[in-house]
Amino acid sequence: MAGKPKLHYTRGRGKMESIRWLLAAAGVEFEEEFIETKDDLEKLRNDGSLLFQQVPMVEIDGMKMVQTRAILSYIAAKYNLYGKDLKERAWIDMYVEGTTDLMGMIMYLPFQPADTKEKNLALIIERATTRYFPVYEKALKDHGHDYLVGNKLSWADVHLLEAILMAEECKPDILSAFPLLQAFKGRTSNIPTIKKFLQPGSQRKPQADEKFIATVRQIFNI
């Protein structure tokens, strides 16, 4: 039996969090080796583990995979979360790219200067409620199923739930105008593997605090 995937990243969310989410949703146990210092990162770079000198990196199936999108699509395909044909895969890709754009805005917010945070938070809320969430609300309505693509859980659903919870951390009532997304959140949060990941003590990471931000700045020279 192959060993558990091993995730190499910091102790925070960042670009690895969506990988943790997808593995957890697929019911796959994984190990983590945390990068805590600049030296830890340099060691990975120097031993040739990082194809482009960047993390996240995931050891899986004998590979040292880098590039978030490549890792996620591999996991989605391996664990049957990537649709039944090319058209379904294309829709999953489109939905995932949309949520990735929104999540990227939220992810970088804690690292922005204090004088721009308020403006950028307002932009996140505006984009979420006018550009992104209306698309998923309409998709659920038009599709008429519990999930975005086909009639089974896919990477698109897992990614959307992660994005919803991140957006609610910015504005708790952000879904107030989106009843189908509210119902979607309730359904997907109760899928056993996801429910387990949402419990305290799981490998899900908390919001970035000042200590974590300082550590990341030190490790990555930002």
Mean pLDDT of 66-74: 97
- 154: CB partners within 8 A, 6+ apart: 76, 81, 82, 83, 88, 92, 147, 148
Q: Say if residue 190's pLDDT is above 70.
A: yes
Residue-wise pLDDT tens digits, 92-132: 999 999 999 999 999 999 988 888 988 999 999 999 999 99
pLDDT confidence band for 1 (50 / 70 / 90) = very low
158-168 per-position pLDDT tens digit: 999 999 999 99
CA-to-CA distance for 12 and 105, rounded, in angstroms?
A: 16
| 3.40.190.80, 1.25.40.850, 1.20.1050.10, 1.10.3720.10: CATH of 86-190 | 1.20.1050.10
Could you state, in order of their start, the residue ranges of all structural domains in the chain?
Answer: 6-79+198-220, 86-190
Q: What is the pLDDT of residues 147-157, one digit of tens each?
A: 999 999 999 99
The answer, yes or no, to whether residue 169 has pLDDT greater than 70, is yes
Beta bridge partners of 66: 57
Cβ atoms 25, 191 nearer than 8 A: yes
Strand blocks (E) in the chain: 6-9, 31-34, 57-60, 63-66
Q: Is the pLDDT of residue 189 over 70?
A: yes
The pLDDT of residue 114? 85
Confidence tier at 2 by pLDDT (50, 70, 90): low
Per-residue buried b or exposed e for 153-186, using 16+ beta carbons within 10 Å of the residue's own CB: bbbbbbbbbbbbebbeeeeeebbeebebbeebbe
Mean pLDDT over the full length of the chain? 95
- Domain 6-79+198-220: which CATH class? alpha beta
Give the sheet arrangement for strand 57-60, strand by strand: 31-34, 6-9, 57-60, 63-66
Q: Token digits for 67?
A: 């590039």
Mean pLDDT along residues 49-65: 96
Nearest to 59 by CA among 104, 6, 3, 109: 6
Compute the average pLDDT of residues 22-28. 98
- CA torsion sign, 129 to 135 to 141 to 146? negative
Q: What is the pLDDT of residue 221?
A: 83
Radius of gyration in angstroms for the set of CA atoms belonging to the chain, rounded to a whole number:
18
